[in-house]
C-alpha cells in the first residue's frame, strides 16, 4: 500500500508495486500475491519520501533540505528496499540513512554515492554488513571518475542501516546518524554516536546529558571517507544484532533531528501507531509548523513498525 503523507515533493518509486487494493487485501489475509521488490532511493540533493505497507510491517521515510538558508541542497539521503520471500530465502528489508559531512567538499555526492552502492548491493542479493564495510569504495569510484583538476578527496558521509529478516535485525553505523528501537514506549537499543563529544562523555570528561549541547557534538570520530590521496579508508563499522518483537518501532534519522533528545523522540513516536503519522508529525514539529521555530539543517527520518 502506497500513499502520500503530506503535501510536498512528488513521490518517486524505483519499481512498480502492487496496487493498494491488493496490498490491503494481503494485509487482511496475510497472503501477499506475487509481491514485487521495493527499491526506493532518494539522494543527490533531492527531497521526498515514501510510505509503504510491507510483508513484515509498515515503513515511512522522508528526507528534507531544511527551511533555512544554511543549505541550498540536501546532503542527506535514504534508501528503503524490500525483497519478498522466496522458497529459497525469507523476506528481507533494508533501511539506510546517510548524511554528507558538512564542511567537506561534495557531502551531497558522498551520501548519494554510498546510498547508490547500498541500493546496488541490495539488488544483487548481498547482506548489509559486508556491503556497508566496503562503502568507501563507492567514494573512491566517484573520486576516480572526476576530472583530475576538480577531484575532491575530502568527501565523507555518515551511515546508519538496518537489515531485517524475520524477527532478526542487524544494525550498522558509523558517525552521528542514529538508530533507535522502541518497545512499548521504552528505548531498548540506541546506537552510540561517533563524535568527539560522545568520546569525552565515555571518558568521563563531560556529563552524558551535556552531549547534545556540546560544541563538539558534530565533530565525527568515524565516517565513510577517503584519505588525502583519494584512497578508501576502511571504516570501523559498529554492528549490533537484535531480536524484534511484534509492535517494535525502529527509527533511523540524521542529526537534523538532534533538536529532540532520544527519549523525547521515542515518547512522541510511541504515541502514534502508524509510521506515516510518526514521520508527518515529527516533520511538522521539526520545521516549525507547531513550534514556530525553524530548522535550517538537512533532516532525514525512517520509521518502521514491525509485526
Looking at the domain assignment, is residue 292 inside a domain? Answer: yes
Looking at residue 296, its pLDDT comes to 63
Contact criterion met (CB below 8 Å) for 269 and 278: yes
Q: Calculate the CA 94 to chain-centre distance.
A: 10
Which stretches of the chain drop beneath a pLDDT of 50?
1-34, 289-292
Whole-model pTM above 0.75? Answer: yes
* Residue 67, pLDDT score: 63
Domain-located, residue 166? yes
pLDDT at site 70: 56
Q: Does residue 8 lie within any of the structural domains?
A: no
Q: Which CA distances in Å does 255 have to 157, 174, 259, 262?
A: 12, 13, 8, 11
Residue 220 lies in a domain: yes
Classify the C-alpha dihedral 287-13-11-42 as positive or negative.
Answer: positive
In a domain, 129, yes or no: yes
207-245 burial, b at 16+ Cβ within 10 Å, e below that, comes to: eeeebbebeebbebbbbbbbeeebebeebebeebebebe
- For 248, the domain range is 20-306
In a domain, 1, yes or no: no
**Domain-embedded: residue 90:** yes
How many domains would you assign to the chain?
1
- Answer whether residue 256 is part of any domain: yes
Q: Would you say 137 and 113 are in contact if contact means Cβ atoms under 8 Å apart?
A: no
Q: At 210, which CATH number?
A: 3.60.40.10
Strand 38-42 with 238-243, pairing:
unpaired
Nearest Cα to Cα of residue 122 among 157, 155, 95, 160: 95
Amino acid at each position: 500500500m502506497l500513499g502520500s503523507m503530506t503535501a510536498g515533493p512528488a513521490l518517486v518509486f524505483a519499481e512498480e508495486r502492487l496496487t493498494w487494493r491488493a496490498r490491503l487485501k494481503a494485509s487482511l489475509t496475510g497472503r501477499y500475491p506475487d509481491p514485487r521488490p521495493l527499491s526506493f532511493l532518494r539522494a543527490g540533493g533531492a527531497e521526498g519520501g515514501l510510505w509503504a505497507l510491507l510483508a513484515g510491517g509498515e515503513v515511512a521515510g522522508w528526507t528534507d533540505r531544511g527551511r533555512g538558508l544554511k543549505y541550498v541542497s540536501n546532503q542527506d539521503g535514504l534508501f528503503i528496499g524490500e525483497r519478498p520471500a522466496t522458497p529459497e530465502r525469507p523476506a528481507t528489508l533494508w533501511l539506510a540513512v546517510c548524511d554528507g559531512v558538512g564542511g567537506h567538499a561534495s557531502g551531497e555526492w558522498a551520501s548519494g554515492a554510498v546510498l547508490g552502492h547500498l541500493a546496488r548491493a541490495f539488488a544483487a542479493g548481498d547482506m548489509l554488513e559486508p556491503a556497508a564495510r566496503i562503502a568507501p569504495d563507492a567514494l573512491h569510484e566517484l573520486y576516480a571518475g572526476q576530472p583530475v583538476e576538480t577531484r575532491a578527496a575530502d568527501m565523507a558521509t555518515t551511515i546508519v542501516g538496518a537489515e531485517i529478516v524475520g524477527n532478526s535485525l542487524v544494525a550498522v553505523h558509523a558517525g552521528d546518524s542514529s538508530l533507535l528501537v522502541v518497545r512499548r514506549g521504552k528505548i531498548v537499543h540506541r546506537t552510540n554516536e561517533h563524535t568527539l563529544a560522545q568520546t569525552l562523555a565515555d571518558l568521563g570528561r563531560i556529563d552524558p546529558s551535556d552531549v547534545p549541547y556540546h560544541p563538539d557534538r558534530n565533530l565525527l570520530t568515524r565516517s565513510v571517507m577517503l584519505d588525502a590521496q583519494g584512497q578508501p579508508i576502511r571504516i570501523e563499522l559498529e554492528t549490533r544484532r537484535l531480536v524484534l518483537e511484534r509492535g517494535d518501532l525502529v527509527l533511523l534519522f540524521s542529526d537534523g533531528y538532534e533538536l529532540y533528545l532520544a527519549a523525547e523522540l521515542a515518547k512522541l513516536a510511541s504515541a502514534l501507531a502508524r509510521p506515516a503519522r510518526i514521520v508527518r508529525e515529527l516533520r511538522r514539529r521539526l520545521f516549525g509548523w507547531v513550534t514556530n521555530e525553524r530548522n535550517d539543517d538537512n533532516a532525514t527520518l525512517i520509521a518502521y513498525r514491525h509485526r
